[in-house]
Amino acid sequence: MRCDDVTRELATPSGDLDPADLAGHLASCASCAGWASRASDLDRIWEATRPAEPSADALDALWAHASAALDARTAPATLRFEAPGRPRRRAALAFALASAAAVLFAASALFRDRAPDAPKVADNQVASPPVRATAPPPSVVKVNVDVDQIAIVRIGEGGPRVEILDETPLFASSSLADDTPHDRFNAWESMASR
């Protein structure tokens, strides 16, 4: 039995090695026994540092926030068939601006006394209360205009600026493959950092 096979079996159990043979090897091989000892150290520290999960009350608040955000998302969809082409886009854009204004108004009211902090992207938190009372107000607001479009509203000294961006389909298998660049999130990241 090779040491490499033993440590691999310990790290990623496959059942291919006979447990009795494995135990026998560990009893007679100082190198593998040391590896197993370090493995149990790691397991212990991993367990000891596992974060606490939200309480039922915290989950209630999180769901209330999510539910409100989802309601806000579905609102623009009703605009889809009201008028084709540009009017629809204008209506959606008006909604985006109104939504952004609502977010910013609520945020500035909540955080009036706080110093400005790093730019933050708020995602359709139009009708929902903030989950974090300590968050800074957003200076960049992202609003879904349509299924494949988002509006980015940036608040600067010269007032709000709106930008409509087309999006690729969300969370399609290929777009989130581990070995591909995460263009969608990278795009948000670059927006947030501007």
Interacting residues toward Zn ion by CB under 5 A? 3, 29, 31-32
Name residue, tokens 């040391």: 34
- Rounded Cα distance between 48 and 44, Å, is 6
What is each CA distance from 99 to 68, 76, 95, 111, 146, in whole angstroms? 13, 10, 6, 18, 14
3-class state of residue 10 by DSSP = helix
50, two tokens: 């596992």
Single-letter amino acid code for the residue at 192: A
Q: How many CA atoms lie within 13 A of 68 on its CB side?
A: 15
Query: Is residue 93 a contact partner of residue 164, using CB atoms and an 8 Å limit?
Result: yes
Q: How far is the CB of 4 from Zn ion (least distance, A)?
A: 8
User: Is residue 66 within the footprint of another protein (CB under 8 A)?
Assistant: yes
167, two tokens: 């999006």
Pick one of Zn ion, another protein, none as the site partner of residue 185 (Cβ within 5 to 8 A by kind): another protein
User: Is residue 173 within the footprint of another protein (CB under 8 A)?
Assistant: yes
User: Is residue 81 within the footprint of another protein (CB under 8 A)?
Assistant: no
CB nearer to Zn ion: give 32 or 155.
32
Residue among 33, 39, 98, 165 that touches another protein (CB under 8 A): 39
Q: How far is the CB of 86 from another protein (least distance, A)?
A: 26
User: Is residue 21 within the footprint of another protein (CB under 8 A)?
Assistant: no
Query: Is residue 174 a contact partner of residue 160, using CB atoms and an 8 Å limit?
Result: no
- Rounded Cα distance between 72 and 150, Å, is 13
Which positions from 118 through 157 interact with another protein, judged by CB under 8 A?
118, 123-124, 131-132
Pick one of Zn ion, another protein, none as the site partner of residue 14 (Cβ within 5 to 8 A by kind): another protein
CB nearer to another protein: give 62 or 83.
62
Binding residues for another protein, per CB under 8 A?
Answer: 7-8, 11-12, 14, 35, 38-39, 41-42, 44-46, 48-55, 58-59, 62-63, 65-67, 69-70, 73, 117-118, 123-124, 131-132, 169-173, 176-179, 182, 185-186, 188-189, 192-193
